[in-house]
Amino acid sequence: MEKKKDIKSIKVTAKSVQQRRKIEEHGDFLTAPSRAAAPRALKEETGGSLGERIKKARESRGLTLKDISSRTGISANVLKQVESNELTPPLGQLIKLGKALDMKMGYFISPGVDKPLTVVRKDQRRMVSRYGEKKSAVYGYYYESLAAEKGNRVMEPFIVTLLPTGKEELSTHDGQEFIFVLNGEMKVQVGKQVEVLQAGDCVYYDSNKPHYVGTVGKKKTTILAVLYAGSK
């Protein structure tokens, strides 16, 4: 009888670990992966693509793909694809890579210039993620960086356009997020709490808690989102 209980306990534990891993690997509107290479403008202005900067940081520390994999939980095969620009990692993974490499996550998006003030005009916003219409619908978003020119930054602000999608899966990553709804209607879930936000509403939450953000109904929603991943 005791043996059967032990087996059942092991199965429950394994299932819990599997569910937690699924939540951690899934991406929300700021963390969903893309198989599109880093934008051309980003490569030209920073002297290296996203994958090249990650590889350079890893090699300068004498670390192997296996080392980084063990520190982040990201498979060595995925890391190899990232470094070769076959796969653009979600921001959640960039946060983990930044911690593993002792660097700020913002460096991987764009190193920028370390000066006290940077201005981004409305026609100068840098598209961090651009998908075709079909792919955008699948991921449910596209976004623009509002601080790509600022080096040594601790926050990542974006204008995000949420698109209708049938997927509503929770995700989790280090840090905190602030969202202000510019137009449309947005659903946010953190843990078991669910809220619907209208234009002018805002929300602040710990992103290490399972959460979901998405548009409501069949209309797109535009939001201002600020992600804080911590000092490292």
Domain assignments of the chain as residue spans, ordered by start: 126-228
Q: Among 21-35, 140-154, 172-186, which stretch is predicted with the lowest mean pLDDT?
A: 21-35
Q: What percent of the chain has pLDDT over 90?
A: 31
Give me the torsion for CA of 205, 79, 51, 56, rounded to 10°: 110
The token duo for 50 is: 């996203």
Entry pTM: 0.68
**For residues 91 and 112, what is the distance between their CA atoms, to the nearest angstrom?**
17
**Which residue from 120, 192, 131 is spatially nearest to 159, judged by alpha carbons?**
120
**Which residue from 34, 29, 32 is spatially nearest to 81, judged by alpha carbons?**
34
pLDDT band for position 130 (50/70/90)? very low
- Tell me the sheet residues that pair with 215: 186
Is the pLDDT higher at 87 or at 29? Answer: 87
CATH, domain range 126-228: 2.60.120.10
